[in-house]
């Protein structure tokens, strides 16, 4: 297992290695944010919009006089953490439902399928805005709403992947042997469904991460005073009209992580699916 | 086809007569970013009007060589060395544009899957005329009238109007003939036939073979005929080259090679299907092991695939179910196992009725009927080791664990003639096709069943490997006395292994009985057609059969 | 032909049903609110009297199904109700904004679609070349960027530093066409950049998939010219997947417009929606959600219909 991983890394092109490095750095920052930061997360330490380097603020201060660097590092923790939890939840719900639909077929499949069709017929952002209007914006609501909406896409994929596996003769052989549904799912289907699901996890994470950042940017996602990249862009956006690139930093932080994850996923898909272009 | 079939025909100006020459042809294929040689220096000569058969099992490189005759290498392959001269033109040196002008006009290609090789968006006639019109050989109107002539010669129904149909509106056998017509559109010097009948049923195959043979003979077109079936190539070719793993094994005129094979590999290929079992089992004993009584089944509500089918299988006997695609033979297996519960009729096990649906059967009932599949690739979970694949039925049915289970797994591996210590920890991906099928057999045996349903178990395998599998199945039957329900489309397999034969057509049993009775006249009409359509090694077989059928029709 | 017709009718019926269900969800979503809508909006401090008055104003005293049909029939007659925040007619609020949003989306589509399809086909034809690999990295990067990142980069370089275009897309009623285009360039460009990457990758994948089919090899072996293989054998079959890709991305455009409008303070539907959400102006949110949902559903419906209509197997049944 570890050997395979090392082999994979050695084989990886520069773009994928770059992606892995980015992910590692982000994970490190997210885990050790309190240790790495000079100030508290929402501590007001200076005057508004201090320029870079002044008064010990390496990246200046924000619209309320909080240290920019501190907030960017904390932002890693908050934004990534929430996106990660959301994606996990979406996979749990969508994955299980998708597998059930594929394995049971018939009415379960029809019912779940039609339900998801309708949910997917409404654009995700609009749906999210609608629900957030009604339910209000708090982190748990945000996580649940986005996870549920996103689980529809996971459902589709998990079902499609599982469908392709369920029709395999080895699954039929297991059923003929008299194995129960749970065993078939766990031992025959899941191990073979892993590669596409892992890749999808990366893609969904990117999507959720961008989605939450987008909501926060609109002021409807993660609420102040929590440090979060999307809302930091919004709060400091006025600087851009003075040619100050500070608001681009949190935006760039978002972009860099999604680029990294996408590079790794792209390589992973290329390796595992055998989806080579030439054949 | 020239009437003269010997290698160096008398009185021919030798050099002028040569159409295609290959010298030291080497082709490489890309695997895991590395180039590996898959054809190792083949020499080949083809004279005008001659039909050359390329024969070999999978991986022999025969298709690759055939395409190289057109100066073409599939994506992921490259011609890495040697010389290809067509009509005096050096294809290795020729530019893409020069090769393009040859293709379709002087050399053309007939693919294995006509259904996939016709563009679904265009009518047959448009695809036919495209080659002559685009190459400026003849105008559209002339090409169309040509098409009608060729369609008629190839015995397509409604030759004047069939061209107006789209590919999906025409049957597989007809499409294959339409593709041959398309290849003949510019009257090329050479046609490469790449397994043109492999995907067809035997009764369709014989028609397509006859049609191809006729037109090739009439237009005196040279052909390279690629197949894995020696009996087919015997009908078509003047000369045969036997290939294996990219090397030439043996070459000779069709008659010589069939009568006097020199190389042991060729002899093995020829000897295939000569294996036959002795009679065994308790014929007509008291209660049959399994009895299917008046079973009717359908998918959904619409398509009825089994009509009132009754079958009985006795202890230690092999019952073969033969039929072409769509005959319902695989559905019969699904009905017996309960995967597709019958609408009417019942399945009796040693006289006791089995619950119709799989879910209603208990562990013991399930254990006693096991199944082996056509595609060993999809029948084994690629993420489980052999230990787990064979071990699971042992622990599931018999509760074996630890050393006891391990010993039993090894015992089973020995039984299927695989080295236990070498194979027990491998994944299916690390096995060859034949080895995988052996593992499937071991998994079925692990349950110690009374009956094993074998669904086309040899059709995805190369002939020599298939032969070994049949022998193994037979020796296991002699050893443990298991019964087989053997589903197949291949009559040679039936001859080899069956005690009793059931012939199915469109969901009905048309004939059944002991092997000797069914195989010897008088037959049911369909059985007769089926039996007479199976190619034999005799090069005169096809002409003979056609002659006989013509006589019978008059 | 009958089969084709049945499938088209089925798909249309399904589309209609979806629209109905979506309208139901948008309306009834509000009902799912724990407690009472009026209380939730007015907050804890509201007196029972104000709550009661407010309930009456929202017609909360009527049973839900009556309110739903009132609402639905109102919408069908162009009456969207009134905003809670400023008591204005919602149709009045939406009027000009609707046109603005459609204009922006259309402008982006006009730039993005031809560009993406062209580049996608090119990348597929020259796959694994340097060009293709470069395109892969670039598009992968650009789909990874949040829209506002691209938007602010464009503002920084093209508006603030170069001063070529306005950083705020301020359009109003009677602007001449080209002036309007000029002011919309940056938001349109932002949308284009995000959308082209997606569309191109999907086009490329569809074409590559197609080029691997045996009938393309056959066309090669018939000695046809490359241009003819592409035009005659690949494109007719690529049409359905490409149309699908384009329409999916158009649907995305209409929705993706929300964030871009906010960045450029563009007076469109997205801006209105976001404002109303932060004010919890529920009738306006419902109306604008319905607009986006309908646009999205209709575009997807169109894509499916095109796929059915361009399928030769259905066009020419046995």
Whether residues C62 and C128 fall in one domain:
no
- C147 and chain A in contact, CB less than 8 A: yes
Task: Report the C-alpha gap between B401 and B394 in whole angstroms.
Answer: 8
Confidence of residue B7 (pLDDT cuts 50, 70, 90): very low
* Residue C278 C-alpha from the chain's centroid: 22
- Interface contact flag, A214 C147, Cβ < 8 Å: yes
Whether residues C67 and C188 fall in one domain:
no
Task: Report the C-alpha gap between B22 and B248 in whole angstroms.
Answer: 13
Q: Are A121 and C18 in contact (CB under 8 A)?
A: yes
**Which residues have a Cβ under 8 Å from the Cβ of A254 and sit 6 or more positions away?**
A79, A209, A210, A213, A229, A230, C146, C149
Region of residue C59 (phi > 0: left; psi between -120 and 50: alpha; otherwise: beta)? left
Whether residues C64 and C193 fall in one domain:
no
Confidence of residue B281 (pLDDT cuts 50, 70, 90): low
Find residues 203-262 of chain A whose CB sits inside 8 Å of chain C.
Answer: 206, 210, 213-214, 217-220, 230, 233, 237, 240-243, 245, 247-248, 251-252, 254-255, 258-259, 261-262
Nearest to A279 among B75, B367, B381 (CB): B75
- Interface contact flag, B381 A191, Cβ < 8 Å: yes
Q: Examine the pLDDT at C134 and tell me if it is beyond 60.
A: yes
- Interface contact flag, A123 C282, Cβ < 8 Å: no
Chains that touch C (3 or more CB pairs under 8 A): A, B
pLDDT of the residue at B540: 87
**Complete DSSP assignment for C25-92:** HHHHGGGGSSS-HHHHHH-TT--HHHHHHHHHHTTTTS-HHHHHHHHHHHHHTT---B-TTT--BHHH
pLDDT of the residue at B109: 94
Query: Which of C211, C217, C223, C310 best probes binding to B when mutated, by most B CB atoms within 10 angstroms?
Result: C223
Which residue of chain A comes nearest to C210, CA vs CA? A277
What mean pLDDT is predicted for residues C199-223?
Answer: 88
Question: For residue C13, is it within any domain?
Answer: no
Strands B303-313 and B290-299: antiparallel
- Interface contact flag, C318 B100, Cβ < 8 Å: no
- C3 and chain B in contact, CB less than 8 A: no
Question: For residue C164, is it within any domain?
Answer: yes
Whether residues C108 and C192 fall in one domain:
yes
Give the predicted TM-score (pTM) of the model. 0.81
| pLDDT, greater one: B236 or C53 | B236
**Structural domain range at position C68:** 23-79
Query: Which of C10, C123, C144, C296 best probes binding to A when mutated, by most A CB atoms within 10 angstroms?
Result: C144
State what percent of residues in chain B have pLDDT above 70.
Answer: 94
Whether residues C190 and C71 fall in one domain:
no
Query: Which of A75, A111, A126 best probes binding to C when mutated, by most C CB atoms within 10 angstroms?
Result: A126
What mean pLDDT is predicted for residues B522-551?
Answer: 86
Question: For residue C218, is it within any domain?
Answer: yes
pLDDT of the residue at A278: 33
- Interface contact flag, B74 C313, Cβ < 8 Å: no
The b-or-e profile of B197-223 (16+ CB within 10 A means b, else e) is bebbbbebbbbbbbbbbebbeeeebbb
| pLDDT, greater one: A17 or C239 | A17
Give the tens place of pLDDT for each residue, B299-338. Answer: 766 677 888 999 999 988 999 999 888 888 888 999 999 9
Q: Please report residues of A whose CB lies closer than 8 A to that of C254.
A: 123
Whether residues C101 and C190 fall in one domain:
yes
Whether residues C195 and C142 fall in one domain:
yes
Task: Report the C-alpha gap between C30 and C26 in whole angstroms.
Answer: 7
Q: Please report residues of C whose CB lies closer than 8 A to that of B190.
A: none
Task: Indicate the DSSP class of residue B440.
Answer: H
Q: Are B341 and B357 in contact (CB under 8 A)?
A: yes
Find residues 115-134 of chain C whose CB sits inside 8 Å of chain A.
Answer: 127-128
CA distances from A117 to A111, A163, A235, C132, C245 (A): 10, 17, 37, 35, 18
pLDDT of the residue at A275: 40
- Interface contact flag, B366 A177, Cβ < 8 Å: yes
**Complete DSSP assignment for A207-276:** HHHHHHHHHHHTTSSSPTTS--HHHHHHHHGGGGGGT--TTHHHHHHHHHHHHHHHHHHHHHHHHHS---
Q: Please report residues of A whose CB lies closer than 8 A to that of C160.
A: 240-243
Which one of 2.60.40.10, 3.40.50.11750, 3.30.70.2740, 3.40.50.300 gives the CATH number of domain B315-340+361-520?
3.40.50.300
Nearest to B117 among C215, C232, C312 (CB): C215
Nearest to A255 among C145, C276, C293 (CB): C145
Give the tens place of pLDDT for each residue, B211-225. Answer: 888 888 888 899 999
Tokens for B296? 């009717």
Helix, strand, or coil (residue A15): helix
Total residue length of chain C: 318
pLDDT of the residue at B283: 56
Whether residues C38 and C126 fall in one domain:
no
Confidence of residue C240 (pLDDT cuts 50, 70, 90): confident
In tens digits, chain A (279 residues) has pLDDT values of 566 777 777 777 888 888 899 999 989 888 887 777 777 777 777 777 777 776 667 777 777 777 888 888 888 888 899 999 999 999 999 999 999 898 888 888 889 988 888 888 788 888 888 888 777 778 888 899 899 999 998 998 999 889 888 888 999 999 999 998 889 988 999 988 888 888 889 888 988 999 998 888 888 888 878 888 888 888 888 887 777 888 888 888 888 999 899 888 888 877 765 443 332
- Mean of pLDDT over chain B: 88
Q: What is the CATH number of the domain that holds C262?
A: 1.10.3720.10
Give the tens place of pLDDT for each residue, B408-459. Answer: 999 999 999 999 999 999 999 888 889 999 999 999 999 999 999 999 998 8
Confidence of residue C74 (pLDDT cuts 50, 70, 90): confident
- How many angstroms separate the CA of residue A190 from the nearest CA in chain B? 10
Give the tens place of pLDDT for each residue, C265-274. Answer: 888 888 888 8
Whether residues C204 and C146 fall in one domain:
yes
| pLDDT, greater one: B301 or B397 | B397
- How many angstroms separate the CA of residue A180 from the nearest CA in chain B? 10
Which residue of chain A comes nearest to C274, CA vs CA? A218
pLDDT of the residue at B11: 38
pLDDT of the residue at C216: 92
Which one of 3.30.565.10, 1.10.3720.10, 3.40.50.300, 3.40.50.1400 gives the CATH number of domain A77-272?
1.10.3720.10
- Interface contact flag, C146 A122, Cβ < 8 Å: no
- A135 and chain C in contact, CB less than 8 A: yes
Nearest to A169 among B361, B370, B379 (CB): B379
Q: Please report residues of C whose CB lies closer than 8 A to that of A230.
A: 146, 148
Domain boundaries along the sequence of chain A: 77-272
Whether residues C196 and C233 fall in one domain:
yes
Q: Examine the pLDDT at B3 and tell me if it is beyond 70.
A: no
Task: Report the C-alpha gap between B493 and B553 in whole angstroms.
Answer: 30
Whether residues C35 and C126 fall in one domain:
no
Question: Based on the structure, what is the number of domains in chain C?
Answer: 2
Phi, psi of B46 (to 5 degrees): -135, 130
Task: Report the C-alpha gap between C281 and B541 in whole angstroms.
Answer: 86
Cα–Cα nearest to C151, from C246, C262, C251 = C262
Cα–Cα nearest to A172, from B438, B453, B305 = B453
- How many angstroms separate the CA of residue C227 from the nearest CA in chain B? 12
Give the tens place of pLDDT for each residue, B34-63. Answer: 888 999 989 999 999 899 999 988 888 899
Q: Examine the pLDDT at C38 and tell me if it is beyond 80.
A: no
**ipTM value for the complex:** 0.82
**Complete DSSP assignment for B366-412:** HHHEEEE-S-HHHHS-TTS-HHHHHHHHHHHHH---HHHHHHHHHHH
Region of residue A136 (phi > 0: left; psi between -120 and 50: alpha; otherwise: beta)? left
Whether residues C144 and C223 fall in one domain:
yes
- A275 and chain C in contact, CB less than 8 A: no
């Amino acid at each position: 297992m570890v050997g395979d991983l090392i082999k994979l890394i050695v084989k990886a092109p520069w773009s994928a290695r770059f992606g892995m490095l980015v992910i590692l750095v982000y994970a490190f920052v997210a885990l050790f944010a309190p240790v790495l930061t000079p100030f508290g997360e929402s501590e007001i330490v200076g005057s508004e919009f201090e320029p870079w380097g002044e008064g010990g603020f390496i990246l200046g201060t924000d619209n309320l006089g909080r240290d920019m660097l501190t907030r960017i590092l904390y932002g890693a923790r908050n934004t990534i953490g929430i996106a990660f939890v959301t994606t996990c939840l979406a996979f749990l719900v969508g994955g299980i439902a998708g597998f059930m639909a594929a394995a049971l077929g018939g009415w379960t499949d029809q019912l779940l399928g039609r339900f998801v069709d309708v949910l997917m017929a409404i654009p995700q952002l609009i749906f999210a805005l609608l629900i957030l209007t009604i339910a209000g914006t708090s982190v748990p609501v945000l996580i649940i709403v986005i996870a549920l909406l996103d689980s529809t896409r996971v459902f589709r994929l998990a079902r499609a992947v599982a469908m392709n596996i369920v029709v395999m003769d080895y699954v039929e052989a297991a059923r003929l042997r008299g194995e129960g549904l749970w065993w078939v799912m766990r031992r025959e289907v899941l191990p073979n469904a892993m590669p596409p699901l892992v890749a999808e996890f990366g893609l969904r994470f990117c999507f959720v991460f961008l989605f939450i950042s987008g909501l926060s940017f609109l002021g409807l996602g993660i609420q102040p005073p929590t440090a979060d990249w999307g809302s930091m862009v919004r709060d400091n956006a006025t600087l851009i009209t003075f040619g100050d690139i500070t608001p681009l930093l949190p935006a760039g932080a978002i972009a860099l992580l999604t680029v990294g994850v996408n590079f790794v996923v792209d390589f992973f898909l290329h390796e595992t699916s055998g989806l080579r272009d030439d054949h | 086809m020239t009437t003269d079939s010997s290698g160096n025909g008398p009185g021919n100006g030798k050099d002028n007569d040569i159409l295609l020459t290959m010298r030291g042809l080497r082709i490489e294929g890309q695997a895991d970013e590395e180039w590996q040689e898959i054809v190792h220096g083949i020499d080949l000569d083809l004279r005008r009007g001659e039909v050359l058969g390329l024969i070999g099992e999978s991986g022999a490189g025969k298709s690759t060589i055939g395409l190289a005759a057109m100066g073409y290498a599939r994506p992921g392959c490259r011609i890495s060395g040697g010389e290809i001269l067509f009509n005096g033109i050096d294809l290795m040196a020729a530019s893409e544009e020069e090769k393009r002008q040859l293709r379709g006009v002087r050399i053309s290609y007939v693919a294995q899957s006509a259904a996939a090789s016709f563009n679904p968006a265009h009518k047959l006639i448009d695809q036919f005329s495209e080659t002559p019109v685009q190459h400026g050989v003849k105008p559209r109107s002339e090409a169309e009238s040509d098409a009608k002539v060729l369609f008629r010669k190839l015995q397509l129904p409604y030759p004047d109007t069939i061209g107006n149909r789209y590919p999906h509106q025409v049957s597989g056998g007809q499409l294959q003939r339409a593709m041959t017509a398309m290849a003949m559109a510019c009257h090329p010097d050479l046609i490469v036939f790449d397994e043109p009948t492999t995907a067809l049923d035997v009764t369709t195959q014989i028609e397509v073979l006859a049609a191809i043979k006729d037109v090739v003979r009439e237009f005196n077109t040279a052909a390279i005929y690629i197949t894995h079936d020696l009996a087919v190539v015997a009908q078509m070719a003047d000369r045969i080259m036997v290939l294996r793993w990219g090397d030439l094994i043996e070459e000779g005129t069709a008659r010589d090679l069939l009568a006097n094979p020199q190389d042991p590999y060729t002899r093995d290929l020829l000897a295939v299907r000569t294996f036959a079992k002795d009679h065994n089992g308790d014929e007509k004993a008291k209660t049959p092991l399994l009895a299917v009584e008046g079973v009717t089944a359908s998918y959904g509500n619409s398509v009825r695939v089994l009509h009132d089918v009754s079958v009985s299988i006795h202890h230690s006997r092999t019952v073969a179910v033969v039929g072409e695609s769509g005959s319902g033979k695989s559905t019969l297996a699904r009905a017996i196992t309960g995967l597709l519960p019958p609408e009417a009729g019942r399945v009796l096990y040693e006289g006791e009725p089995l619950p119709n649906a799989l879910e209603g059967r208990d562990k013991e009932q399930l254990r006693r009927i096991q199944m082996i599949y056509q595609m060993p690739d999809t029948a084994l979970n690629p993420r489980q080791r052999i230990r787990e694949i064979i071990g699971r039925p042992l622990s599931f049915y018999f509760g074996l664990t630890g050393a006891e289970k391990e010993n039993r797994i090894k015992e089973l591996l020995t039984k299927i003639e695989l080295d236990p210590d070498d194979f027990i920890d491998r994944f299916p991906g690390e096995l060859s096709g034949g080895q995988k099928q052996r593992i499937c057999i071991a998994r079925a045996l692990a349950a110690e069943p009374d009956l094993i349903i074998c669904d086309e178990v040899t059709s995805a395998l190369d002939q020599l490997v298939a032969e070994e599998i049949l022998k193994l199945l037979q020796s296991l039957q002699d050893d443990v006395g298991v019964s087989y329900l053997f589903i197949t489309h291949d009559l040679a397999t039936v001859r080899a292994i069956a005690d009793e034969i059931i012939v199915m057509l469109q969901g009905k049993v048309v004939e059944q009985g002991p092997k000797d009775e069914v195989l010897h006249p008088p037959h049911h009409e369909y059985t007769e057609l089926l039996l007479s359509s199976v190619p034999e090694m005799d090069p005169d077989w096809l002409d003979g059969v056609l002659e006989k059928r013509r006589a019978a029709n008059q | 032909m009958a089969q084709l017709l049945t499938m088209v009718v089925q798909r249309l019926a399904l589309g209609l049903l979806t629209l109905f269900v979506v309208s139901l969800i948008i309306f009834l979503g509000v009902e799912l609110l724990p407690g009472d809508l009026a209380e939730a909006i007015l907050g804890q401090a509201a007196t029972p009297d104000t709550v009661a008055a407010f309930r009456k104003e929202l017609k909360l005293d009527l049973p839900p199904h009556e309110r739903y049909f009132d609402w639905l029939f109102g919408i069908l007659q162009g009456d969207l109700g009134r905003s809670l925040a400023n008591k204005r007619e919602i149709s009045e609020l939406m009027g000009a904004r609707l046109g603005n949003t459609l204009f922006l989306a259309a402008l982006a589509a006009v730039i993005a679609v031809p560009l993406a399809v062209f580049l996608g086909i090119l990348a597929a034809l020259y796959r694994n070349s340097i060009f293709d690999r470069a395109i892969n990295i670039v598009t992968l990067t650009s789909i990874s960027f949040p829209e506002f990142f691209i938007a602010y980069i464009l503002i920084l370089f093209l508006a603030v530093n170069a001063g070529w275009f306005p950083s705020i897309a301020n359009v109003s009623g009677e602007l001449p066409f080209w002036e309007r285009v000029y002011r919309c360039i940056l938001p349109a460009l932002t949308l284009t950049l995000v959308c082209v990457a997606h569309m191109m990758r999907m086009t490329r994948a569809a074409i590559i998939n197609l080029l691997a089919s045996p009938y393309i090899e056959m066309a090669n072996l018939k000695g046809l010219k490359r241009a003819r293989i592409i035009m005659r054998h690949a494109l007719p079959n690529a049409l359905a997947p490409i149309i699908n890709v384009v329409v999916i991305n158009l649907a995305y455009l209409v929705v993706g417009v929300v964030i871009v409008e906010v960045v450029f303070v563009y007076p469109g539907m997205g801006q209105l929606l976001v404002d109303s959400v932060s004010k919890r102006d529920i009738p306006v949110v419902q109306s604008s959600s319905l607009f986006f949902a309908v646009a999205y559903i209709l575009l997807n419906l169109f894509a499916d219909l095109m796929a059915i209509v361009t399928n030769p197997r259905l066009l020419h049944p046995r």
